[in-house]
Structure 1
């Protein structure tokens, strides 16, 4: 059902937004599931996390990686959210935007999994860079569409 009368492409882009938001929520839950027990094991009072930078080096790497990834999901993906919504509002959603949106989301999922588990920096960097390539294509095409008469 599509009560807003959106095109199939616009709906697909909105679904990619929701999937990325769900990834962020999942990483937040994973962060709590790893950070809180790690703080207890380390004997740290919750007040020690008043400034999360103060926790650096006091928790196991596995807990820090998940928290770092959660923070990363509040950076570049916010640009994706804004641009994706703009594309839908402008009525500019098309198959290329859809493909790039899902590519961006898929690469961010892969980036999160790599960072939170094996944390191979070269692989993370490649996934990060490729996700930005997809996002830059979306941005450039959106600007062209928005500026076209």
Structure 2
């Protein structure tokens, strides 16, 4: 997702453009990795010394609920990244060291769905975690 589309979504849902929200979106747009609230706070406190985790988490929760960011958990901590703009269904490999992401163009639901013929599946999420070649 790009910043323009993110702002369109925010404005459609009644959110005003603020410098803090702008900076958060810019940080995600510049980096394809998953980032933590701490990553954002470390950068943003240079411009906003009194900025708190609450402000960061509140904005992250809003962005996730509106589909601007996607969220995962790595090593017990929530990580976020800009929502994919891909036009096809896919999943991700996530490096646990650097947070880089690689798209996986296949879906295991093709096999799993057949194993659950009497069940109605509403949604799914599939991620693979490990170490990328650069971090090995």
- TM-score using structure 2 length: 0.32
TM-score by length of 1: 0.30
Higher relative CO (CA 8 A, sep ≥ 6), structure 1 or 2?
1
The structure richer in helix per residue is 1
